[in-house]
């Protein structure tokens, strides 16, 4: 196995260089999810779990860094991958994590991904604006999943860091 370091950062150049409208879409998504109806920590937990589910280092490193910068404990960050039996999450956070898992993972044959019971559970913790915002946040991370798994940007701990060749 070749372990020689490479100067190549990402699989593709910055897509915004070719499709500048991407910056507008990205900014609009961040504005839509930044309305404070859902705690920023919950958003980062959901985005971290999404990165774990799809097995993407860029998303897991970035969202782990966001959580650390927000003062989250290592126990909570580490336990996101096993949140179902971890004692570190609130019922509202658990509902949000269940929702992102249901959205990203295949449903058992013949069943919905997001069941009525799951929707009712999430709606019991979030008002209509927060539920819409959480739904948009899951769509937001799905949007970035495609860029992350196809383009393979360099893992960074800040969006200000160089991610693309």
- Whether 65 and 158 have beta carbons less than 8 Å apart is answered as yes
Mean pLDDT along residues 112-140: 97
Q: Give 44-90 pLDDT, tens digit per residue.
A: 999 999 999 999 999 999 999 999 999 999 999 999 999 999 999 99
Distance, CA of 131 to CA of 51 (rounded, Å): 21
Round to whole Å and give the CA distance between 140 and 71: 23
Domain ranges within the chain, ordered by starting residue: 20-151
Residues 95-124 have a mean pLDDT of: 95
Q: pLDDT band at residue 158, thresholds of 50, 70 and 90?
A: confident
pLDDT at 3 over 60: no
| pLDDT over threshold 90, residue 36 | yes
pLDDT for the residue 161: 86
DSSP letter for each residue of 8-71: ---SS--GGGT-THHHHHHHHHHHHH-SSSS-HHHHHHHHHHHHHHHT-HHHHHHHHHHHHHTT
Tracing tokens 């910068």 back to the chain, one arrives at 69
0.85 surpassed by pTM: yes
Q: Which CATH number is 20-151 given?
A: 1.20.1290.10
């Amino acid at each position: 196995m070749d372990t020689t370091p490479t100067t190549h950062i990402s699989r593709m150049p910055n897509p915004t260089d070719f499709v500048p409208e991407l910056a507008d879409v990205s900014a609009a998504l961040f504005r839509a999810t930044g309305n404070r109806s859902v705690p920023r920590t919950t958003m980062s937990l959901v985005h971290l779990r999404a990165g774990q589910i799809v097995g993407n280092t860029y998303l897991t490193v970035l969202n782990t860094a966001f959580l650390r910068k927000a003062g989250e404990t290592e126990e909570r960050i580490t336990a996101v991958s096993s949140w179902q039996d971890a004692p570190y999450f609130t019922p509202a956070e658990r509902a949000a994590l269940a929702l992102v898992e249901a959205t990203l993972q295949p449903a058992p044959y013949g069943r919905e991904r997001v069941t009525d019971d799951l929707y009712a559970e999430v709606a019991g913790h979030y008002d209509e604006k927060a539920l819409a915002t959480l739904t948009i946040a899951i769509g937001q991370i799905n949007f970035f999943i495609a860029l992350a798994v196809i383009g393979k940007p360099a893992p960074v701990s800040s969006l200000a860091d160089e991610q693309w060749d």
